[in-house]
């Protein structure tokens, strides 16, 4: 009998040990990490030129936007959803040069470019030169997911947007006094020189987002109105996969902002990924190399935001400032505007 009691007790002890091991495992099991980073454009953004009220407005909007993506990621949502929904918030704000706040072309129109890329499949979508699509990043995603193409432009892209039931608005929706005045200023100084500082500073506020979700999938997206006073159907780097946007689960997700012509020529977003993949550089080292050496060597300026497959963040720029924000899996929030 006593043998039976002994055996029974051992069995019970064993069972509870097993449960204990299990609960310790559950406690120490690493929660999959995730991270998100955004930009709202890079350029000559100096504290002395921005009122505290305006600075607070920008910070509040950046915070609102990044928290939308953060919540999606925290709830186990995809990096693609996080990127798209975060960019939607920035597109709907007149503060940034994307969607509602897009700059004016020489002809007095607003022409939007956008792109998105899925790091898991390397699938991508992009739209260029649309005038009536309220949220161009939605169109880029629809092109990626519901068309056999990567990039659509102009009227064809708008027709596709209508067929996809995307939100179409009257062109007057994109009128903002601020941007219209900027066009007049740039036009007035146009005679001075073609590639002068006016041109350099006529493109603030492009928006972008890069995210890593709990499944280890990276995604990046960018949306812009391009450059004030652009003409001849000019298209910048933002809708060009590899230049303004790139994502690859093996390396990183990148969104760029800056003088698009130089970002196209330097194939910035893909170059950062390639430096990581082929040379083993960290995201920070790769971003530094491209933004601080390669782009300025050609005469260009701007910046990038990015996240790698481990959740490491890069926010590199060679301009005075870049609107930016990032959040990690712990919910730590960083918002920056100036160089610091």
Q: Is 136 in the site for ligand ASP (CB under 6 A)?
A: no
- What are the tokens at 271? 């170059």
Give 266 or 273: the residue with its C-beta nearer to ligand ASP.
Answer: 266
Q: Is 257 in the site for ligand ASP (CB under 6 A)?
A: yes
CB 161 within 8 A of CB 136: no
How many residues sit close enough to ligand ASP to count as binding (CB under 6 A)?
15
Active site residue 206: yes
Q: Is 61 in the site for ligand ASP (CB under 6 A)?
A: no
Nearest distance from residue 157's CB to ligand ASP, in Å?
A: 16
Give 97 or 249: the residue with its C-beta nearer to ligand ASP.
Answer: 97
Binding-site member from 36, 37, 41, 84 for ligand ASP (CB under 6 A): 41
Give the integer Cα–Cα distance in Å for 212 and 210.
7
Count of beta carbons in the 10 Å neighbourhood of residue 119: 29
Give 238 or 328: the residue with its C-beta nearer to ligand ASP.
Answer: 238
Bridge partners for 334 per DSSP:
326
User: Between β-strands 151-153 and 123-130, what pairing exists: parallel, antiparallel or unpaired?
Assistant: parallel
Return the sign of the alpha-carbon dihedral for residues 328, 334, 336, 339: negative
CB 308 within 8 A of CB 276: yes
Q: Is 40 in the site for ligand ASP (CB under 6 A)?
A: no
Nearest distance from residue 97's CB to ligand ASP, in Å?
A: 6
Q: Is 183 in the site for ligand ASP (CB under 6 A)?
A: no
Letters for 206-235 (x = contact with ligand ASP by CB under 6 A, - = none) are x-----------------x-xx--------
Binding-site member from 61, 112, 131, 203 for ligand ASP (CB under 6 A): 203
CB 134 within 8 A of CB 99: yes
Bridge partners for 219 per DSSP:
118, 211
Q: DSSP of 68-83, one letter per residue? A: HHHHHHHTT--HHHHH
Q: Is 251 in the site for ligand ASP (CB under 6 A)?
A: no
Give 77 or 101: the residue with its C-beta nearer to ligand ASP.
Answer: 101
Give the integer Cα–Cα distance in Å for 313 and 20.
37
Q: Is 266 in the site for ligand ASP (CB under 6 A)?
A: no
Q: Is 255 in the site for ligand ASP (CB under 6 A)?
A: no
Q: Is 201 in the site for ligand ASP (CB under 6 A)?
A: no
- What are the tokens at 31? 């929660």
Give 113 or 158: the residue with its C-beta nearer to ligand ASP.
Answer: 113
Give the integer Cα–Cα distance in Å for 219 and 109.
30
Q: Is 236 in the site for ligand ASP (CB under 6 A)?
A: yes
Q: Is 260 in the site for ligand ASP (CB under 6 A)?
A: yes
User: Between β-strands 207-212 and 302-308, what pairing exists: parallel, antiparallel or unpaired?
Assistant: unpaired
- Indicate the SS3 state at residue 322: strand
- Catalytic positions are 206
Binding-site ranges for ligand ASP (CB under 6 A): 41, 97, 203-204, 206, 224, 226-227, 236-238, 257-258, 260, 263
């Amino acid at each position: 009998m006593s043998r039976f009691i002994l055996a029974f007790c051992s069995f019970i002890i064993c069972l509870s040990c097993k449960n204990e091991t299990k609960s310790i495992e559950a406690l120490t099991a690493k929660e999959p990490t995730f991270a998100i980073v955004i930009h709202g454009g890079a350029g000559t953004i100096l504290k002395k030129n921005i009122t505290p009220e305006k600075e607070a407005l920008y910070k509040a909007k950046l915070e609102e936007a990044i928290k939308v993506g953060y919540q999606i990621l925290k709830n186990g949502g995809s990096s693609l959803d996080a990127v798209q929904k975060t960019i939607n918030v920035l597109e709907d704000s007149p503060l940034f040069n994307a969607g509602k706040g897009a700059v004016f072309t020489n002809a007095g129109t607003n022409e939007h470019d956008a792109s998105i890329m899925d790091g898991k499949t390397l699938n991508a979508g992009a739209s260029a030169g649309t005038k009536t699509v309220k949220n161009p990043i939605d169109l880029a995603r629809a092109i990626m997911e519901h068309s056999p193409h990567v990039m659509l432009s102009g009227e064809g892209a708008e027709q596709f947007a209508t067929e996809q039931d995307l939100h179409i608005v009257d062109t007057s929706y994109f009128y903002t006094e601020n941007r219209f005045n900027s066009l007049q200023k740039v036009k007035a100084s146009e005679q001075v020189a073609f590639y002068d500082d006016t041109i350099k500073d006529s493109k603030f506020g492009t928006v972008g987002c890069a995210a890593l979700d709990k499944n280890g999938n990276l995604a990046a997206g960018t949306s812009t109105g391009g450059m004030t006073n652009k003409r001849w159907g000019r298209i910048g780097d933002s809708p060009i996969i590899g230049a303004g946007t790139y994502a690859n689960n093996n390396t990183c997700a990148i969104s760029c902002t800056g003088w698009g012509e130089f970002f196209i020529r330097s194939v910035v977003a893909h170059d950062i990924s390639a430096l990581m993949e082929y040379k083993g550089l960290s995201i920070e080292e790769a971003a530094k190399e491209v933004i601080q050496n390669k782009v300025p060597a050609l005469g260009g300026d701007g910046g990038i935001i990015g996240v790698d497959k481990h959740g490491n963040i890069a926010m590199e720029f060679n301009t005075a400032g870049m609107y930016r924000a990032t959040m990690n899996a712990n919910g730590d929030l960083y918002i920056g505007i100036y160089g610091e």
